[in-house]
């Protein structure tokens, strides 16, 4: 089993989400999340998604609440890409953010294929 890490995300209401990532790529999701948060305020579109904030990374995750489960990294990044691709932005060069999202998406797809997890 490949080594995995977990990114803990928190939304504005305080709800947390756990994203399971290959350990080799976890920092990229954290960095991407921080960059997206930095740029969100510059977007002028009316349909900018609410993005949870990365608050922690960890190598092991023991969830005590059986109702909770981690979201797969590829599933999370695919949803992130869909939500940003649907933004109707005219004033900000959104393509640069989408390029960063899609670059990580491609890396994850390749990683999952190499690990025969797709």
**What is the distance of C-alpha 109 from the center of its chain?**
14
Reported as a single tens digit per residue, the pLDDT across 43-57 is 888 888 899 999 999
Q: Are strands 4-10 and 53-58 parallel, antiparallel or unpaired?
A: antiparallel
Q: How confident is the model over 27-43, as pLDDT tens digits? A: 999 999 999 999 988 88
90 has a pLDDT exceeding 80:
no
pLDDT for residue 109 is more than 80:
yes
Bridge partners, 20 (sequence order): 6, 72
């Amino acid at each position: 089993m490949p080594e995995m890490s977990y990114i803990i995300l928190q939304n504005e209401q305080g709800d947390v989400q756990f994203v399971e990532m290959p350990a080799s790529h976890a920092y990229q999701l954290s960095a991407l999340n921080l960059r997206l948060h930095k740029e969100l305020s510059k977007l002028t579109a009316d349909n900018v998604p609410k993005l949870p904030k990365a608050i922690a990374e960890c190598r092991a995750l023991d969830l005590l609440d059986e109702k909770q489960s981690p979201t797969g990294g590829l599933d999370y990044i695919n949803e992130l890409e869909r939500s940003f691709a649907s933004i109707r932005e005219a004033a900000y060069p959104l393509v640069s953010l989408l390029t960063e999202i899609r670059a990580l998406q491609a890396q994850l797809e390749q990683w999952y294929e190499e690990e025969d997890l797709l």
